[in-house]
Amino acid sequence: MFAWDCEVRADRCDTVPLPDHDKTTTRGHYTFGDNRMAARRLQRLADLFRPSLEAFVSAHVPRPVAHLLDMACGPGHTTRQLAAIVPAARVTGIDHSRPFINDAQRSPLPNVAFRLGDIRRPHREVAADLPPADVLYSRFLLTHLPEPGDALSTWAGYLAPGAVGLLQETAAMAGSHPALARYYELVADLQQRHGQRLDMGRGLAALPDPGLYDVRYSGERRFVLPGDRMAELHRLNLMTWRHDPLAASLDRRELATLDVELAAIAGNHGADVVVEYSMGELVLVRR
């Protein structure tokens, strides 16, 4: 087994508006981009994390569901998975990225809709025409918000009384190959420069306002992920964030070497490389 000493988020499919990523007036930074390469990576990521999504949501979603809301839905891969796992009268994905929303809308489903919106804004500004949701889902999003507790308080306005909020965030991540470990260190440093916390899954229970939410469940889900698939995802990320202005001080030669090493891990499907992963989970009930 490996020590849980390398931490990183496992990046979801969304581009989010951050307060910077200024709470009320400026937009922040999403490290992993919203271009076509990012969309391709997010499809693979959604497939990789579907088992943990299904297990978590199936255990905690009440039925029947009238309206399910996917916050920062990206190109819609996870939104469609949610619609398949939890039959609902309406499923809505909201994201700040126009390219992602355009992509999501190219594959419509009868009860699934996508809209452009800033998930840090109140419900009346983003989705006033939509009914309050009775289920809200967020994954790999709060890790990008400098004030995640404020985001949760804002989201309370999207929910009906008694509605359930389901949150999943990376708590810890450790790879058996040095290149993976170094990648996690670099991403951790970069996101810290943006005022973001990478091990958000470890601090979820401290975020909700007790005047707005009751905590129904708080825990961690641990599992092992294949190193080749994770290296492929990380390499696609690296191609984007290496051009981030706050990454300008990083060693270009080291990044080039890391790119080669990740490519080698991704291409060697028989290698015994794994990533030990811990997912923080929180279930909230709107008061």
pLDDT digits over 21-32, tens only?
222 223 445 656
Instruction: Quick: pLDDT tens for 139-161.
Output: 999 998 989 999 999 999 999 99
Coil vs helix vs strand at 10: coil
CATH code (residue 83): 3.40.50.150
Q: Does 105 fall in a domain?
A: yes
The structure tokens listed for 240 are 């984007």
Q: Give 89-99 pLDDT, tens digit per residue.
A: 899 999 999 99
pLDDT for 11 equals 33
Query: What pTM, to 2 d.p., does this model score?
Result: 0.87
Domain membership of residue 5 (yes or no) is no
Q: What are the tens digits of pLDDT across the range 94-115?
A: 999 999 999 999 988 999 999 9
Q: pLDDT tens digit string along 46-71?
A: 999 999 999 999 999 988 899 999 99
pLDDT at 33: 61
- The residue with greater pLDDT, 188 or 167, is 167
Considering Cα of 61, then 63, then 69, then 70, what sign does the dihedral take? positive
Confirm whether 265 is domain-assigned: yes
Q: Which residues of 248-268 are buried (b: 16+ CB within 10 A; e: fewer)?
A: eebeeeeeeebbebbeebbee
Domain that holds residue 254: 36-286
> How many structural domains are present in the chain?
1
CA atoms within 13 A on the CB side of 189: 13
In this predicted structure, the answer to whether residue 10 has a pLDDT above a threshold of 50 is: no
Rounded Cα distance, 56 and 222, in Å: 12
